[in-house]
Chain A
Amino acid sequence: MKVVVIGGGPAGLAAARAAAGAGADTVLVDSEPTLGGQFHRGDPQRVDPRVRHLANSTVWAVEGMRLHVRTGPADSPSRTGETLNADAVVLATGAHDRVVPFPGWDLPGVYTAGAAQALAKGQKIAIGHRVVVSGTGPFLLPVAESLKAVGAEVLRICDANTGLGWLGRPRAASPAKLAELLGYAVRLGAAWRPRTAVVAAHGEDRVNAVTVAKLNPDWTIRSQERVAVDAVCVGHGFTPRLELAVAAGCVLTDGFVQVDHTGATSVPGWYAAGEVTGIGGADLAAAEGEVAGAAAARGACPTKALAKVRSGRRFAAALADAHPIRPGWHTWLTDNTLICRCEEVTYKDLRAAVDLEASGTRTFKLTSRIGLGLCQGRTCARAAVDIATALSGDRRTFFTPADLQRRPIATPLRLAELASLPEEDL
């Protein structure tokens, strides 16, 4: 029984441990040199010694139960290849920051919350001296704390929602979660500004000021002021990394991989755990990983972890309800605001595509050039489709989340790497 776990964050680590514990021959594939994922960055984790850990490794394509892997320095043409034939796969590929676009968001000095966090924890670098943190969700708080730890002054923490909605929900949060949040409130409360947002960044070659707006509940602008900064960090929740799930044919629900209580996806042999199944934080991810790893290895169901999954999902649902993305952000955009950073597609270009009735993912991309650049729409596709849907009004549209995530080549590789794949790997 060979179980391959993809992703070395909290979910993948727990899945690998559980699969190995159930006696499966377990491989953990992770793109980073050390384990722990984004959550444990700067604090490398270890995995069960029975697990074969493939570091610096990326699954770049999937054919049925066959996984094509490259191992070596990121984007290097000298990586080595390997093909893993799995009996079961656990997808724990996590999520990356979702950012809604605004004028100037492509200026150097504007970073995602994840970038600020990774640079602070992994490289001990502060993205700036005077920083505004903006977006929505509880992740803004640890990011602000990491920024302070490396010497940045955090001027504001702007959450476009009130961030408190979930408190009213019974049994939503554990006492530990409440204590954690209370700690943030004590340490960061002075900078915290609910129902505000950075709605524009200013500067020539890099950001030197931002417009901070007070928002209405639908995120339209009530009033605004200019704040001098040398860096901004933005995050509006997370987008799951779904290309491998889509390549494997897993059904999505509400933009996440659909799983049953054991983490089984719609495709036999494929399991998923962590943020690809819903955004719920590291504890829930680890519990889901443990359950999915055991199920993938056909081991006994870890009942304690399963109970944690159930309560964790309630908390995650409450959290998601409290941090919605409201459509008022469309009013922050100007004609020339870039939506696609790679291909430099503007809001105006999207409107032109909608006017040509480019109402399916493929035609919309080819008409506007959105998502055709190197990031393949990972950064902008969700925002672009939101915009297109809104601009289409009553007209029919045909956008599906799976189409936005269809990247059969999940990470780029060099033409010669592809050309030199040995016969036995095909």
Chain B
Amino acid sequence: MDVVVVGAGVIGAACADALSAAGLRVTVLDRGPLASGTSAAGEGNILVSDKEPGPELDLALSSLSRWPALVGDTDIEWDPKGGLVVATGDPAPLAHFAAVQREAGVDARWITPAEALEREPHLTTRVTAAVHYPQDAQVQPVLAAQALLSNVRRRGGVLRPGVTVVGLDARGVHTSEGVIACDHVVNACGPWSGEVSRALGAPIAIAPRRGMVLVTAPLPPTVHHKVYDADYVGAVASGDADLQTSTVVESTAAGTILIGSSRERVGFDESIRIRVLRELARKAVALFPSLADVPVMRAYGGFRPYAPDHLPVIGADPRVPGLWHATGHEGAGIGLAAATGALLAELLTGATPHLDPTPFRVDRPGVLECA
């Protein structure tokens, strides 16, 4: 069987990897260079800490266990640094959140403010409570996507950057470089999945949600975990169009510190907004006062693929036989990619899914749009 995966970001790469491992002939298309959209704009989060019990957490836990085997010896800067969520106000909501996570299988360890400061000596002393999540990890997302695409290439799959998809019919996928015959098509175009789904005649409600990240100059080791304010959890789950920021601070292998995160629904508008950057800076300095004099050398933005109910969309399109979607992972795509690719391949090949696919189905309320 021949499959065309549209989108060479980490989700498309993971789907292509799983499909080619299952013995299918895979072609990966991208209208631009490989791994250059959302995958090249994120921090590389592989997180369980920010997820409440439910289908997304199940997908995250499955993904976490699958990632290492997928990349083998390839260096993707895998850093099992662990997450540290800190509250500076009332600790009760964080305590409750961690308790229900623990019941769902997350390693969430309640630690004292003193222990938090021991782990992160530069943290503000205003910390009232903290939870340590040893399972949280980080990768360099472009290297991770490339590692998966290398697997595909090694199995004889074809990667075609610079090819735009314009339609789909019985002959196959119509592209800017002609028709590619195939049995199945996977739409893995991240924030652009809505646009591509319309071109394929099966619209789904995926929209972009913009985020911005500040990058500091390289520093001596200063921040050791992925550290975030407990208010992050609320922002991820919110659907407000207005700007939301919550503090996420972490260092990278290159010594820089990444400061996020913001969420805005502004379409594909790429213009910089100083108000957003100021909010990120304010909250980072509040969490790590010693960062005040550190130079900010870069700011960059990206778009997260956003579904109305904040759940990924993984499965067959009920309207167009042979069309599949794997998208809507919002800011969690790197972390969720490994299990997403596995699930999509299981569904497409008729194997038994390793977890319940129902919550991610394409025909759930709010996802299907009228053609």
The answer on A and B forming one complex is: yes
8 Å CB contact of A409 from B34, B278, B294, B298: B298
Are B40 and A363 within 8 A (Cβ)?
yes
Which chain B residue lies CB-closest to A75? Answer: B295
> How many whole Å from A320's CB to the nearest CB in chain B?
30
Chain A residues whose CB sits within 8 angstroms of the CB of B32 once the complex forms: 360, 398
- Complex interface residues of chain B between 107 and 160 (CB less than 8 A to chain A): 140-143, 146, 149-150, 159
Which chain A residue lies CB-closest to B8? Answer: A357
Q: Which of A91-99, A163-171, A310-318, A414-422 binds B?
A: A414-422
Q: Beyond A68-B274, A363-B146: 6 further Cβ-contacts under 8 Å?
A: A61-B274, A62-B272, A357-B33, A358-B35, A369-B254, A408-B300
**Does A239 interact with chain B (Cβ within 8 Å)?**
no
Are B272 and A414 within 8 A (Cβ)?
no
Are B299 and A408 within 8 A (Cβ)?
yes
Query: CA A418 – CA B293 in complex, angstroms?
Result: 10
Chain A residues whose CB sits within 8 angstroms of the CB of B41 once the complex forms: 362
Interface of A is mostly: loop
Query: CA A77 – CA B278 in complex, angstroms?
Result: 15
Are B34 and A358 within 8 A (Cβ)?
yes
Are A362 and B36 within 8 A (Cβ)?
yes
Chain B residues whose CB sits within 8 angstroms of the CB of A374 once the complex forms: 217-218, 295, 297
Are B299 and A414 within 8 A (Cβ)?
no
Chain A residues whose CB sits within 8 angstroms of the CB of B150 once the complex forms: 356
27 A-B Cβ contacts within 8 A? A68-B274, A75-B295, A357-B34, A357-B146, A357-B161, A360-B32, A362-B41, A363-B34, A363-B35, A367-B142, A367-B143, A372-B254, A376-B298, A398-B161, A408-B272, A408-B299, A408-B300, A409-B298, A409-B299, A412-B295, A413-B295, A415-B214, A415-B285, A415-B294, A416-B281, A419-B281, A426-B275
Q: Which of A363, A372, A414 has the most CB of B within 10 A?
A: A363
Interface residue tally on A, bucketed by range: 35 or more
Query: CA A369 – CA B297 in complex, angstroms?
Result: 15
Chain A residues whose CB sits within 8 angstroms of the CB of B34 once the complex forms: 357-360, 363
**Does A247 interact with chain B (Cβ within 8 Å)?**
yes
**Does B319 interact with chain A (Cβ within 8 Å)?**
no
- Complex interface residues of chain A between 7 and 23 (CB less than 8 A to chain B): none
Query: CA A372 – CA B294 in complex, angstroms?
Result: 16
Query: CA A373 – CA B256 in complex, angstroms?
Result: 9
Query: CA A247 – CA B300 in complex, angstroms?
Result: 12
Are A366 and B216 within 8 A (Cβ)?
no
Are B294 and A358 within 8 A (Cβ)?
no
Chain A residues whose CB sits within 8 angstroms of the CB of B146 once the complex forms: 356-358, 363, 367
> How many whole Å from A131's CB to the nearest CB in chain B?
32
**Does A87 interact with chain B (Cβ within 8 Å)?**
no
Contact with B along A121-154 (1 / 0, CB 8 A): 0000000000000000000000000000000000
Which chain B residue lies CB-closest to A375? Answer: B297
Are A414 and B254 within 8 A (Cβ)?
no
Which chain A residue lies CB-closest to B282? Answer: A419
Query: Closest 4 interchain pairs by CB?
Result: A360-B33, A416-B292, A418-B281, A419-B281
Contact with B along A349-392 (1 / 0, CB 8 A): 00000001111101100110100111010000000000000000
